[in-house]
Homo-oligomer: A and B are copies of this chain.
Amino acid sequence: MTSEHEARYTENVQEHLQQVQHLLEKHALVEVVALHQEIPRAERHDLVGRLLHKRHLAELGNLLASLHPADIAYILEALPINQRLQVWDLVKADRDGEILIEVSDAVRESLIATMSSDELREAAEQLDTNEIADLAPDLPQAVMRDVFKSLSIEEREQLREAMSYPHDAVGALMDFDMVTVRDDVTLEVVSRYLRRFDKLPDHTDQLFVVDRDDYFKGVLPLHRLLVNEPEMQVSDLIITDTIKLHSDDKAEQAAQSFERYDLVSAPVVDDEGKLVGRVTVNSVVDFIRSESESDMLNLAGLREDEDIFASVWKSAKNRWMWLALNLCTAFFASRVIGTFENTIEKIAALAALMPIVAGIAGNSANQTTTIIIRSLALGLINPANARRMISKELAIAMLNGLVWGGVAGAFAYVLYESPLLSVILTGAMLLNLLLGALAGLLIPLAMQRMGRDPAIGSSVILTAITDSGGFFIFLGLAALLMGA
């Protein structure tokens, strides 16, 4: 729903959160008091208690009614489950839909779990079709069927369209709130047409010019409407060479267009060039933020966003796949060390030094991969310059090997006074850094070529290689050269 929330902006939501928490605590206190009072005879106290209780809830209800849905969503996210559901009960039913859209996936699940089918249907029916599509994966099938039935034929078509795209396609960011005009009318006519609206859809910075068969012809920025004389024709002011998105394009590509050209809205056309929808900057901002968040989460080995108040069990499950994977690679590295146990028994210093070899190469390889992944995401790498990047990264690894391997060698010499051990340590670090750089380069490039997101999973493989590789190179060299 594109309602305007003029009277609901708030400069500091965190204050509101504290207010809600405060009211909830008072309320809980009163509830405890009221509970105690129901058992003894003090009827008067009981009544006061109940009134007080009611007063706090009413106060809370008023506060919530005055807040923007996005702010209520924020408050819901920051409250533990029981308080969250208390607040959710107090929210007016006609705002359920817009709030469900705003909360994170994890929290949405916890809210939807408490709602009846009727409540869910009502909430969904408050929304635009593209918003219903966002909500659909979390709704029971029966509810979706009812919602679908309640829509007009055009809306059903839109909903089908919106639901048919993966979350990283332009189609998933698209809405259908575009204002279209013909090019054979004057600005005067356009102005009169606009005045028939109660309000224009949010983020309407330009009108889309189409012909009578809905083929997209260009855009008319509102600015041009405002600064030009009413007698001028739309066709005199239309901009035809504008960015056109396609619903199958990658959303990331659309995001880069928005960033690059500072867009507020952009038309989406189908293969034949018919206008099917538009993308606005607010969904692009949400997309950019959620992508960067999921990159962060993936890097740390979290499958998805966590509701910070989800049960221990649920959170643990979110983290287990990664830990299990890492345990496997750790077992493998452990077996690599295990094959050199004889050597270690003779020279225990090797055990003390081997984590240095593995660790530094892991860090350096991670730096390489990050640079490559970023350059791939920006489209800066193509066949013409890939070779140059590879030789550069190898040169850096070589330099790092000499410098930091040298430092580590000196450190080992001071401790163990064995020149051979120092040379082996330096050599092993140099080799492992080169191995790490190669892996750091080739893994994301290979993943990209296989059509996978190079940001996901690169780091586990990388650490496995620099750990096991480092142990093998260092202990192997020692076994070979120190004859142990």
Contacts and interface: CB of A to CB of B under 8 A. Distances in A.
Interface in A274-324: 281-282, 284-286, 288-289, 292-293, 295-297, 299-302, 306, 308-309, 312-313, 315-316, 319-320, 322-324
Nearest to A204: B223
Interface stretch (A153-161, A388-396, A441-449): A388-396
A110 interface: no
Interface in A344-377: 344-345, 348-356, 358-360, 363-364, 366-367, 369-371, 374-375
A467 interface: yes
Interface string A1-32: 00001111101011001100100000000000
A326 B70 contact: no
Contact of A74 (B260, B282, B284, B309): B260
A195 B396 contact: no
A328 B78 CA distance: 39
A323 B14 contact: no
Contacts of A327: 356, 360, 404, 407-408
Interface string A200-231: 10111100000000000000001111111100
A162 B282 CA distance: 26
Nearest to A312: B395
B296 A374 contact: yes
B284 A285 contact: yes
B259 A289 contact: yes
Interface in A372-417: 374-375, 378-382, 384-385, 388-389, 392, 395-396, 399-400, 403-404, 407-408, 411, 415
A225 B341 CA distance: 81
B78 A382 contact: yes
A191 B241 contact: no
How many chain A residues sit at the interface, stated as a range, is: 35 or more
A140 interface: no
A264 interface: yes
Nearest to A322: B363
A260 B77 contact: no
Query: Which DSSP category, helix, strand, loop or mixed, fits chain A's interface?
Result: helix
A68 interface: yes
Interface in A63-85: 68, 70-71, 74, 77-80
A114 interface: no
Nearest to A351: B351
Q: Which of A194, A306, A371 has the most CB of B within 10 A?
A: A371
A191 B403 CA distance: 68
A382 B296 CA distance: 22
Interface string A155-199: 000000000000000000000000000000000000100110111
A271 interface: no
Nearest to A22: B384
A150 interface: no
B241 A227 contact: no
A364 to B, nearest CB: 6
A378 B344 contact: no
11 contacts: A5-B261, A6-B239, A199-B227, A200-B223, A203-B205, A203-B264, A225-B226, A302-B370, A326-B360, A331-B411, A345-B345
Interface of A: 5-9, 11, 13-14, 17-18, 21, 68, 70-71, 74, 77-80, 191, 194-195, 197-200, 202-205, 222-229, 239, 241-244, 257-262, 264, 281-282, 284-286, 288-289, 292-293, 295-297, 299-302, 306, 308-309, 312-313, 315-316, 319-320, 322-324, 326-327, 330-331, 333-335, 337-338, 341-342, 344-345, 348-356, 358-360, 363-364, 366-367, 369-371, 374-375, 378-382, 384-385, 388-389, 392, 395-396, 399-400, 403-404, 407-408, 411, 415, 467, 471
Counting from the closest, the 5 A-B pairs by CB-CB distance are: A292-B292, A300-B370, A351-B351, A262-B282, A341-B348
